[in-house]
């Protein structure tokens, strides 16, 4: 009888512990696709094309060290446009809401762009500043605002619900 009662209690405990609470997960929405274009919409991230940026590097301005590379992935979208996919990696500095369930974090990244002038010459790298603001609640962590050289840029979503930012140079 004790074994039967123990078995029933063990089974009930197993069923209760296996239930999931969908509301307990935080949605993470931080991947950004950066496109760099001229005013006419021409892709400026074509690696071997004169007039395009052939070299891009990112450095974390808020990091503890002076040289803190930020990882990104050069990619091509379905329309053959080049982009930089940034997932994470830069330091996130708390801006507001330290003791609340509604916080704002900030990342600052120096973006160095090198333009190809001729087949054999390149311009000096141009250093720009990218600032990303994130909104955090217990339910969601998401990109809320993106600025490039102190100008706020439109933040949109693509068909797969990824964050898209177009930088015009």
User: Is 2 among the domain residues?
Assistant: no
The reported pLDDT for the residue numbered 12 is: 47
Q: Is residue 86 assigned to a domain?
A: yes
Tens of pLDDT, residue by residue over 96-139, are: 998 899 999 999 999 999 999 999 999 999 999 999 999 999 99
Does residue 7 fall inside a structural domain?
no
Q: Is residue 22 part of a domain?
A: no
- Quick one: pLDDT at residue 24? 72
pLDDT above 90: percentage of residues in the chain: 75
Question: For residue 20, is it within any domain?
Answer: no
Tens digits of residue pLDDT in 5-21:
555 655 545 545 555 55
Range of the domain at 149: 27-168
Give the residue among 61, 143, 142, 133 at the shortest CA–CA distance from 104. Answer: 133
* 8 Å CB contact between 136 and 105: yes
Give the pLDDT confidence of 135-165 residue by residue, as tens digits.
999 999 999 999 999 999 999 998 888 999 9
Q: Is 103 among the domain residues?
A: yes
128 occurs within a structural domain: yes
User: Is 14 a domain residue?
Assistant: no
pLDDT value at position 13?
53
* Count of domains for the chain: 1
Helices (H), the chain: 2-18
Rg over CA atoms, the chain:
23
């Amino acid at each position: 009888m004790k074994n039967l009662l123990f078995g029933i209690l063990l089974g009930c405990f197993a069923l209760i512990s296996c239930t999931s609470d969908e509301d307990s997960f935080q949605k993470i929405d931080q991947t950004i696709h950066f496109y760099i274009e001229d005013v006419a919409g021409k892709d400026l991230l074509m690696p071997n094309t004169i007039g395009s940026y052939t070299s891009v590097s990112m450095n974390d301005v808020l990091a503890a060290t002076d040289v803190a590379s930020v990882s990104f992935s050069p990619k091509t979208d379905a329309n053959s446009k080049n982009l930089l996919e940034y997932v994470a990696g830069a330091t996130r500095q708390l801006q507001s809401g330290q003791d609340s369930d509604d916080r704002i974090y900030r990342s600052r990244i120096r973006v160095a762009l090198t333009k190809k002038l001729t087949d054999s010459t390149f311009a000096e790298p141009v250093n720009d500043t990218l600032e990303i603001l994130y909104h955090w609640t217990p339910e969601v962590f998401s990109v809320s605002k993106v600025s490039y050289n102190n100008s706020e840029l439109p933040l949109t979503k693509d068909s797969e619900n990824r964050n898209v930012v177009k930088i015009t140079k």
